[in-house]
A and B are shown apart, each in its own frame.
Chain A
């Protein structure tokens, strides 16, 4: 597993993908920070996290589009699947490689926190809570992206399909306010990655919601493992 993780990590930075991701991350965060803190003259980090939530949905497919697709294309999946590593080891290795690149991008945003702190009082507990929650959300995004990449050998299809799934989740999220039936609301809430994030934005660390993110991640990673196993029977 660590061998695969290291290789993919290196792969992100020998191809443009890793740089594109980190650059996109920095641009988006800079713009948000600029707009929220300068225009509103407030140092509300909450807006920053809110933007992060949605912009991440747009940029994480950059990290996951190649994950399995490229291996299928170059037939290196044949190498991985015939090496003494279990399918779950392969999936976890690839997942953590993408996740670490994400963490790298996130660490860069700590600069904003420091700047905000210099200008006024920042609720440190809330910021830390938000950082942890963002990691949970990113894990969900990445696991969905990794799963979708295991379905196709075409990177572009992989990226677009992942974006489509995130868009669909957003639409479901918007529907939440439009319906009144309790059980539909319950189902929509259950499906909504975004809505759950509000608790964190409000400064409350909700363990239940964090566990939800981790569970969804686990489900998609499990599905990816099953997908690899199923390919053997094609």
Chain B
């Protein structure tokens, strides 16, 4: 369990993080989502005892990181933003050193290290000098290092940075698997990553937590206006008329001609209404097939703007008038 209360850290005059509080329960995987400079790494560095906060406290399994540092750190596996590697060692030497450094006991060295390198897919690089590994493999060594000693809490700062798409999926699965019996915090800028791995997401912006929710709730909140782009084969005017007639549709209009004889339409549903099924049926009845249907992806910046606005105005974003949204910077 990780308990963080009122953490504040300033760098000189600059604010790093501001009164951050949250609790992560045993066995939970929590995603830390935020843009560059939001304060993700700062928070993680404080939890792991690398930095001290100006005020507030962090506890790992009930142990205060400042008052009981050595004991608390025994419970933590930490992958910092830049993997802390000794380039002059081989992967084997390095992980063996980590095994000693963490004073692992009760698990046999060779078996344990074999298990770890298998998990992160480093078996073929085991005897190689870390200096000569590619960026993605260095990142994996960093990950392996965090796993040595089977710590019950994992703090992973952007664990998939530098990996290729196939490796990203592999590592995400590894993290998911680990999360079954471990408490994990991971940070990322990527919304999809949070949805793919985490049960819960903390959105952090400008040093403050702006949302704490399940990823699907968060996406609902973010896409609260339920904007869809629909590509329909059929005459522009009639399709628009049909779309506007669908129960729950608030707004519909054609944007561009996509393919020969088909148009992309922007459809906006009323709050909490899923218009996809009735829309399909209406169009099918009229004989106009749907060629493509997707929800509008918002960029991370748009998400933060929305969350911050929602917090400040104390009105849910979904309650905003369509007119105001059109002044936003979503491209349509």
Contacts and interface: CB of A to CB of B under 8 A. Distances in A.
Interface of A: 2-4, 6-7, 10-11, 14-15, 74-86, 232-234
Interface of B: 11, 45, 48-52, 69-71, 73-74, 76, 78, 80, 82, 84-89, 93, 97-98, 100-103, 145
Contacts of A11: 86, 88
Contact of B48 (A82, A85, A86): A82
Given A10-B93, A14-B89, A78 B101 contact: no
Contacts of A14: 88-89
A102 to B, nearest CB: 20
B86 A74 contact: yes
A7 B101 CA distance: 10
Given A84-B70, A84-B102, 9 more contacts: A10-B89, A10-B93, A74-B87, A82-B76, A82-B80, A83-B73, A84-B74, A233-B52, A234-B51
A7 B97 contact: yes
Nearest to A87: B69
Contact of A75 (B49, B82, B88): B82
A232 B52 contact: yes
A15 B131 CA distance: 13
Contacts of A79: 80, 84, 98, 101, 145
16 contacts: A3-B97, A7-B97, A14-B89, A75-B80, A76-B85, A78-B80, A79-B80, A82-B49, A82-B50, A82-B76, A82-B80, A83-B73, A83-B101, A83-B102, A86-B70, A234-B11
B95 to A, nearest CB: 12
A192 B256 CA distance: 85
B101 A81 contact: no
Interface of A, helix, strand, loop or mixed by DSSP: helix
Contacts of B78: 78, 82
B72 to A, nearest CB: 8
Nearest to A229: B52
Contacts of A3: 97, 100-101, 103
A157 B11 CA distance: 25
B146 to A, nearest CB: 10
A234 B88 CA distance: 29
A84 B50 contact: no
A81 B80 CA distance: 12
A129 B71 CA distance: 43
B101 A232 contact: no
Contacts of B86: 7, 11, 74, 76
Contacts of A83: 73, 101-102
Contacts of A74: 84-87
Contacts of A234: 11, 51
Contacts of B80: 75, 78-79, 82
A76 B70 contact: no
Nearest to B99: A3
Nearest to B80: A78
A153 B85 CA distance: 16
B44 to A, nearest CB: 10
Contacts of B85: 74, 76
Contacts of B50: 78, 81-82, 232
A85 B84 contact: no
